[in-house]
């Protein structure tokens, strides 16, 4: 079942392998770690290779990222099921009012942004990563995450608010 013809392998190398960065980046943010991301991204790439016969020639990045996402969720269910039911307490965070200035000061703080992004539940974290880091359109995000475009928009809205509050809090020293 894992046999690939030379032709298919070349097509796979041309169409899918250019998106290995995207695959790793999504896995890294969904799993919150490089080492797990490496394992899971590799597994996803091999699955993509096996399913390549079913690829209809559309958007190869979205197709690959969909497999990466599913592989990540399967891994999380098995290894860290708590994370999937993780919620972000919006009410608690909204009680602190941060000024845009406070946000600007930490604008380029890699560590704080990483921590803030990682406090978001996976389903909100992933839309932000796909939109802001990967530059995906709503249509692509909908295809990758299997949610309707309208939900992509509202998820992004909530994700951005959550990140904003998480950052504002961290700039006030509330969650170092």
Partner 1 sequence: MRCDFADSLLQGYFDGELSDRRAAEFERHLRNCVHCATELVDLDLLRDSLQLAQLYEPATASLRRNINARLHAIAPTTAASQPLLWHWLAAAAALLLVAILLGRVGHGLRSDDYQTELAGEIVDAHVRSLQSGPMTGIASDDERVVKGWLDGRAGFAVPVRDFANNGFALRGGRVDVIEGHAVAVLVYERNRRPINVFIWRTRQQDSPLRTGSQQSFQWVDWRKEKMEFCAVSDVDPVDLEQLHQLMISSALA
Kindly tell me which of 38 and 83 has the beta carbon lying closer to partner 1. Answer: 38
The answer to whether residue 96 forms part of the interface with partner 1 (CB under 8 A) is no
The answer to whether residue 138 forms part of the interface with partner 1 (CB under 8 A) is yes
- Are 86 and 30 within 8 A, CB to CB? no
| Residues contacting 162, CB < 8 A, separation 6+ | 88, 90, 93, 119, 120, 124
The answer to whether residue 146 forms part of the interface with partner 1 (CB under 8 A) is no
CA angle (170 as vertex; 69, 30 as ends), nearest 5: 5
Using CB under 8 A, which of the segments 41-49, 63-71, 72-80, 82-90 binds partner 1? 41-49
Kindly tell me which of 81 and 116 has the beta carbon lying closer to partner 1. Answer: 116
The answer to whether residue 45 forms part of the interface with partner 1 (CB under 8 A) is yes
Helix (H, G, I), strand (E, B) or coil at 55: coil
| Residues contacting 140, CB < 8 A, separation 6+ | 59, 61, 62, 130
Binding residues for partner 1, per CB under 8 A?
2-6, 9, 12-13, 17, 20-21, 23-25, 28-29, 34, 37-38, 41-42, 45-46, 49, 100, 103-104, 106-110, 113-114, 117, 128, 131-135, 137-138, 153-154, 156-157, 160, 163-164, 167
């Amino acid at each position: 079942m894992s046999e690939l013809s030379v032709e298919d392998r070349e097509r796979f190398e041309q169409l899918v392998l250019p998106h290995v960065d995207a695959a790793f980046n999504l896995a890294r943010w969904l799993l919150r770690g490089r080492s797990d991301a490496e394992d899971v991204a590799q597994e996803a790439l091999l699955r993509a290779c096996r399913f390549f016969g079913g690829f209809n020639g559309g958007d190869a990045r979205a197709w690959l990222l969909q497999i990466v996402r599913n592989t990540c969720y399967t891994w999380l269910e098995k290894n860290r099921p708590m994370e999937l039911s993780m919620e972000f307490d919006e009410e608690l965070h909204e009680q602190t009012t941060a000024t845009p200035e406070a946000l600007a000061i930490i604008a380029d703080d890699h560590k704080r942004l990483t921590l803030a992004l990682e406090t978001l539940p996976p389903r909100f974290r992933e839309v932000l990563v796909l939109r802001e880091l990967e530059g995906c359109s709503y249509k692509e995000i909908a295809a990758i995450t299997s949610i309707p475009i309208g939900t992509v928009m509202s998820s992004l809205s909530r994700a951005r608010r959550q990140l904003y509050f998480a950052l504002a809090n961290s700039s006030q020293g509330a969650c170092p």
